Amino acid sequence: MTLPPPGTAPMRVLIVDDSAFMRASLRHIVGNTPGFVVAGEATDGLTGVDAIRSLRPDIVTLDIDMPGLDGIGVLKRVRASAAGPPVFIMVSAFTTQGASLTVTALSCGAIDFVPKASEHFKTDLAQVGELLRSKLAIAAAILTGRDRPPMRPAAQIPAAISQPAAPAQSLPPARRSSAAGAPDVVVIASSTGGPQTLPQVLGPACPFKAPIVIAQHIPPVFSRSLADSLAATLGVAVVEAEDGRELSPNTVYLLPGGRNGELVRVRAGVFALRLLDEGTAVYRPNADILFRSAALSARRPVGLILTGMGTDGTEGARALSQRGCPVLVQDPASAVIWGMPRSAIDAGLATEVLDAPGLGQRLAAMVEKSG
């Protein structure tokens, strides 16, 4: 786990939860994580808003379901009024209703979430502790901005797929793509910050004349809620992918949480997804697996790599690159977490590097140029 740099002041964490048991548990976890201290506690949403404004914490762990003002209400109030608000980590119930509210919270600006329960225990403190420490490390990286590359200069969308955007300082040159014609499938890698970023990418591109398949790192239960949220925001069909079902144009498919998926060719121009339970991939749904299968099955696939920690998507992008297919990458400076985009760029696999709306505009331009 990456901790705040040595010699820096500890990150101050505010705990907002109406359960005395959970507040005590979170206090113990945070207090025993090097580089972090508990700045205070709040027992409900309204008290939490006041505490955020008075204590000015670096990080807030925020419960979803609270009396008076819930976690969503807290996010909306703080985001609307505060300059430089803290980083929010949701701590939510592992239920269908809790999943829906958590996805809403992620769309409202929370960076990530920690489920209170697991498949074995109603309240799994071992899991909460392990996950919360990893999320605190992500929050610390966001707040300190370590190794964050500079924003690329603004550039117009290129007129052709093979014309890369202007390179940015400290980023290697974009490679050229030899693909021509409209994409027959789009595959997307997304992780931390994805629920905020995906609407920005898909909004300018949808409805899209080919299936779009997303590998968003997310646990079971939450993926269906994310699909429903995206559908409501975008006004297009967004569904959780089903094993073996043919993919349709103008539809966005989200791989089920915790499961990997491979694209398979059914017949010319028609694809389906084969869902996989086995394998040792650390990140699930795994973008490398999805990208490699697209490189094997599709004629004109396009890959997108968005925000996230780690390197998922890079090896899959290599398979697309070897076929001369476009790999569009989110500008690391615009990503909530820059690890995944930066990995693909450093490997020399990006054909273009753009902010989230620019990626969507580029996808739309690919279709328009093809006629």
d(C-alpha 162, C-alpha 171), whole Å:
18
- Assess whether 28 carries a catalytic annotation: no
SS3 52: helix
Candidates 18, 107, 177, 217; catalytic one: 217
DSSP string, 176-230: PP---S--SEEEEEE-TTHHHHHHHHHHHH-S-SS-EEEEE---TTHHHHHHHHH
d(C-alpha 305, C-alpha 308), whole Å:
9
d(C-alpha 72, C-alpha 265), whole Å:
42
Candidates 191, 225, 293, 321; catalytic one: 191
d(C-alpha 219, C-alpha 275), whole Å:
15
Q: What residues are paired with 61 via a beta bridge? A: 15, 89
C-alpha dihedral, 53 to 55 to 58 to 63, nearest 10°: -70
- DSSP letter at 271 equals E
- Assess whether 191 carries a catalytic annotation: yes
| 122, two tokens | 């109603």
Candidates 312, 321, 331, 334; catalytic one: 312
- Assess whether 334 carries a catalytic annotation: no
Q: What residues are paired with 297 via a beta bridge? A: none
Neighbours of 91 (CB within 10 A): 25
d(C-alpha 316, C-alpha 302), whole Å:
11
Do residues 48 and 74 touch, judged by C-beta distance below 8 A?
yes
Do residues 317 and 343 touch, judged by C-beta distance below 8 A?
no
Active-site annotation, residues: 191, 217, 312
